[in-house]
Chain A
Amino acid sequence: MDDLLREFITETNESLDVVDVELVKFEQEPNNATILDNIFRLVHTIKGTCGFLGLPRLEGIAHAAETLMGKFREGVPVTPEAVSLILSSIDRIKEIIADLEQAEGEEPQGDDSDLISELERMSTDAGAVNPNAPKAPVVEEPVVEVAAEQTLERPLRPGEVSLDELERAFRETAVEVDDAAEAAAPAPAPAPEPVAEAEPAPVAEAKPAAKPRSSRTERLEAGDQEKSEEKKGPSVSNQSIRVAVDTLEHLMTMVSELVLTRNQLLEIVRRHEDSEFKVPLQRLSNVTAELQEGVMATRMQPIGNAWQKLPRIVRDLSQELEKPIELEMIGAETELDRQVLEMIKDPLTHMVRNSADHGLEMPADRRAAGKPDKGTITLAAYHEGGHIIIEVRDDGKGLDVDKIKAKVIERGLASESEVDKMSDAQIHKYIFAAGFSTAAKVTSVSGRGVGMDVVRNNIELIGGTVDLRSTQGKGTSFIIKIPLTLAIVSTLIVEASGDRFAIPQLSVVELVRVQTNSEHRIERIKDTPVLRLRNKLLPLVHLSQLLGIYEGADAEKAIDDDNGFIVVMQVGSQTFGVVVDGVFHTEEIVVKPMSTMLRNLTMFSGNTILGDGSVIMIIDPNGVASAMASHASSSVAEQLEDENDDQARKALTSNSTISLLLFRAGAPEPKAVPLSLVTRLEEFEVSKIERSNGRDLVQYRGALMPLVYVNAGDQHKIEGTQPMLVFSDSGRSMGLVVDEIVDIVEDNMNIEVGSDRPGVLGSAVIKDRATEILDLGYYLPQAFEDWFMRKEMDIQALTKKILFVDDSSFFRNMLTPVLKAAGYDVTTCSSATAALELLEDGGKYQAVVSDIEMPEMNGFEFCEALRRDPRFRNLPVLALSAMVTPASIERGRQAGFDDYVAKFDRPGLIAALKDVFSGEMGVAA
């Protein structure tokens, strides 16, 4: 592809982005001639260049679009349809250009006659209407009149683009031709003299010459559209040049190296007190700092560049959803590093889409709520101490706390009692939880949150945070805080077990000196070290322990030594303390990527060379946070006043304590089921219980819900209300009739005595009483015989043998029937070591389902062990865990798990197994 073409593609892409924005603006202000002129000129430019470069397809579309726009300039009323049509032409042009780039300059084959004829039809229609404009029907009158005022001085010539107009367009571009002429004009102009203003004839020739310049000016304006709108024409003297990104990147790298070398020199001079190098070095240091700043500035781009596509997206959404939406953009000139800019583009687009789709109500609802029909989405950006704050705000209905609550409970992220204790802000945070919205059709339930976890991850990836505020009925705003640049990071150099590590300052909240006799002292709950810090309990972990430098008793001792420092770190909503042996100083470092061989270490984000010439590893706060989450023990989580620590809450469920619902039914001794399995507790008037087809039913939420008794032959009460536990699963509900609901308790559930009686898993000591644990797998099919069968049981599955590994007897007992009901032959194991032995002994299984949190050997290690053995390398292994975070899923993937399923997601487990087997069969076929 030649340079000319490449230049053309880059510039055209930029022009098209501007056209997008301008068109949307134009649709709102159809009588603003300046905007129209801008668009007209840009499209015209594209058309001309295409003709010059021999790209007939592009030229054809551009020409047709230009003709239609010419009509607008002549005063034809602007209709949304016409704008849509032009927008789709622009889209087509973009497609062709994308292909053109792919094909290295070969214009792709294709037929645009549909679009062109449509454009022409509209132009002709418009042309037909136009001469009659003053006599136009009443409806159109106001628009036409306003438009006509603007175009009074022009002679109206229907059916063609008037030369006057073209000339006018040129006159406007010609303003800065002289300025721009110096800047290397890439297009060889067939007409040597700068645009011939007075000559109407050589229009076609003059076009190419004008092209690059006009689009260049537009580029300048793009960042600053508000200003350009006021201006009558582009008149900014062109002071900018185009530099390849690679050149800048290279410059940046060199400056980074320079900074490193300077640091080294400073280190050397520091050791020699009376060095004559001191003064020149100081000077060098200053110059380097300035140079660094200067080069950084070249990487800065206004955030408006990331917003450029949004007006168009909002417009399209507005039409699609039939909601009038206004997009307000504040602080578009705020600058940030282009690398960061690239990375927030997608999350921002996603959030704006979300706001338009879910945040804003329909016009009717808005009117009812006393708001203007038109919803507003505001994007605001500003600097705040080394960070950029970006706010995406809508004035819609706000988050629906109740719906989120219901979803949280349904997903098993927290229990009902926990949810009740949470503030609204805490509940809101759940929309960022992993997979919170990816479950079946959540959007209708939660109202918001399509892939918000992805948004959060993307932002956290660049060391940013995202927060949200929502008021029901008033609207929602997302606040994103991101660092200005990624290239140079300020870090804290710490020491642990004799090694030095760098911790990014961004995530360091404070440093606490630990002393036995001071107020800051490390306390312990069970074996977990915590720090009491301003009436909060901070979970602690020693860096050496996190990094596995020494383990077990040694780590305990290290923390006991009581002479270290605690680096209080905050990552997302998680706050924790990392104990280190020493803290040195802070240093500005340039992150260098780690070698591929080490890149799988999540604990480090990179490495760098320090002033003294040694290499240092840079700690990745996100890696530490996820490691903390798995270290965090329930005792800490319970005490944690830190409200928004959802991670720790998940750790709670992963531990052996579990929320149990105690009740009585049929007999005086208590019975229990895990609360997380119960969908709701209900009480029905006895009179509501109906009898049909030999069984008791109640009408519940518009459907008949069968009632099931704990013991066959039990009766419901004769009068008053009848309490029952409602279990729902994929749209079906069952009511388990109980005499009395006793309590909800958090307790260990160790089934100590197994049971042969159907319906009872066994007995456990709960609240100091022997309690029967019910087996729901027995009762559910009583309500609907095919409760489990529905999971598309097939004969194939019957032959599949599955090994199910879980240390908790409860889950073994609970999930085995589920798996069996789905038609699998299940063998259970209570530990990974036992499972390995079983496999070693030649046990043949088609798949392994394994818990993650297990003593001795955890699920990750188990899976890694399996993958190391060539015999089991291709054996499907599914992870089953109460803790489902992106980090743990990633960890699972690395360990070699085929899939990662939440423990309470029974349908998910069956589906995952089916997937695994269907995939396997696919391979075999």
Chain B
Amino acid sequence: MSKLLTNNLTVGYGKPLIEDIAMKVEAGKITVLIGANGVGKSTILKSVAGLLKPIKGVVTIDDVNLSDISSKEVSRKMSLMMTGRSEVEYTSCFDVVSVGRYQFTNIFGKINDSDKKIIEETMKETGAFEYKDTEFSKLSDGQKQRVLLARALVQEPEILVLDEPTSFLDIAYKLEFAEKLKRLAKDKNIGILMSMHEIELVKNIADMVVCISMDGRIDRIAASRDVFTKNYIKSLYQIDSKEFDSTYGFIFDKETENFNSNSINASTNIIDSKNSNKSQDKMNSLKDKVNDENKISKTKYIMVQGTMSSAGKSLIVAGLCRIFMQDGYKVSPFKSQNMALNSFITEDGLEMGRAQVMQAEAAGIKPSVYMNPILLKPTDDKGSQVIVNGKAIGNMRAREYFAYKTSLIPDIKKALSKLSEDNDIIVIEGAGSPAEINLKENDIVNMGMAKIANAPVVLVGDIDRGGVFAQLLGTIALLEEDERNRVKGLIINKFRGDKTILDPGIKMLEDMSNINVVGVIPYMDIKVDDEDSLSERFNKKVKGLINISIIRLPHISNFTDFDVFEQINNVSINYITNPWEVDLADLLIIPGSKNTVADMKWIKESGMEVAILKYANKDKPLIGICGGYQMLGESIKDPKKVEGGFDITGLGLLPVRTVLESDKTTSQVEGKFVNSEGIFEGLKDIKYKGYEIHMGKTISFDNINDFTENKTGFCKGNIYGSYVHGLFDEKEVVTTIVDSLAKKLNIKLDLEKVTDYQSLKEKEYDRLADTMRGFLNMKEIYQMMGINND
């Protein structure tokens, strides 16, 4: 078994382009590099193949460092098929392929009988044999690729490296070529490393996918199922107007927006799959204990499970939370285990899933890690960072986690009982489907969880994806007797059209399942913060009459600071990463950062600094919030090594200096703008409401105007900085800012309907609740929870 490994590999032409690459290519397996054009896929391939000297790190095959052996020896292990082929006139395909025998032929390159046999057989395998005597330059692109593949194969490599082999092919050739590679890898036990653009093909053939982000990082190395989620692909390629279908791998025009894809949750079940029998008893006894406690507790539970990922569970949980809240109950969401890449950091610096944060908001309470005690952040195809109660306890391989998982049950139990102390109702969300019969044993996210909490279950089916009756009935049929009895209601979600057509089916469904359909919920377009909307927001690029650009720092935090602007028509919010985009802004904002020093360095290195200074020089308005405010100053010093101990000079636009301190300032603040000058003069005396969360103090050393109260911010000319997050959320603040910009640009905007951020969000949740109320039999839902409120 041969295996290619890269360790700590940094590649680039002279200057590092992609750093710290650690990937592997195993015999018989296919590893595919994906990423947008020009991010450096070919550079990686060239470096692996030894065409380009790595800047740092090593490439090994079977523990032999490739830089220690001659190119001749490398060529015996690895062959190459790059893009950009030179064509040689008057050369038959056979001759082209025969060049691949270079290492095997004598000094004059004589092709002997055994070479000939190998060449012809390989050409047959790749489908190039029929035109072996045809001139190569006369072939079509697809035929050429077959020939070139044969040429690479006659080298008898252990590792085959291909650079975008399918790029110029029509769809039939693409499919055929991909299938061929898959078969070759297996039959010949060759490890294949390649780059590819057709993600629908990658999905089918890749064993491992290496994702390179737009800013040239190895963003993810994982099995293909963990990569091909709608939003991940969209964020990787920064596409906004198109949708990526994670099931089929198609890209299509976005006409209808699906809310809240839950595809990542599918893999949660896989982790649940295996568990030793030993822990079974232990777990049962734990469950019993929890059940005992639940009997004492007066808290009511309801659990929402789905027939599949993306059935719309998260939003239904959010809607239920809001409905219960409106009805006067104290309610909290709960999901025992989340698998997600983007987490939310609570005020205490703890990590949890974003969906529960959104649901907590709908419930009108602050998010707490107890709502999501276990968070798994995938690190590669087999491992995850395990976060329990908001704190990372380490990286674990899937297998390790299986063994470890049972010991987390007390944590789930504790979280649930903590929540029940303060709440009347807890709405629990499941993950994926409860009917994954191969994975059901020792489940703690779906029916297992329902049993722990002794919660009634409503099962949600997704009619938008078709087969909703089969989804619901099939799921129920696959449940155990006791589990089936837990399902008290069915919901058909994402319905569009005339419900009367559905009615006879519903009747039959109820008859067959003996479970009532408690609601048919229409397709809803609700703007809420969750993981999915996050990446969409970062990647969309639109142009409005007024363009507000927010610099997308690598460690950006508190991006909701600017959501309030999005409600205004003709005002566009863009998150920018390229220096040339800065100039398009009418208002530039540097947001908060989780690592100010690192992000300041990024600003300098990415050329943003020059662009920002040029922008400021034109007297255009620039606002820095929190970390962004610190960056506007002269310097940021870190004597106590809060962020690594480096001092860095800032943009020098405001005469202030920042010293980072280990104490964290966390507080809610209210105040008035003090002496705002420049374009936003009108802000003076307007009230703001927000919060501070930062490490460090910033002092001015020149006589400049205060911007926000209590020395939390200063301004000079059109440069403004403040520590206050949520500074723009109030209606009057946002309208004044937009109005000032509109006046300067000589345009008129309708700002009548603008509301502040909180009420904007509240409105969305209310709309969600109202819609659901209209289509759900709430009475029946209350009844199944054991609440009678007539």
Q: Do A and B truly interact?
A: no
Binding site for B on A (CB under 8 A): none
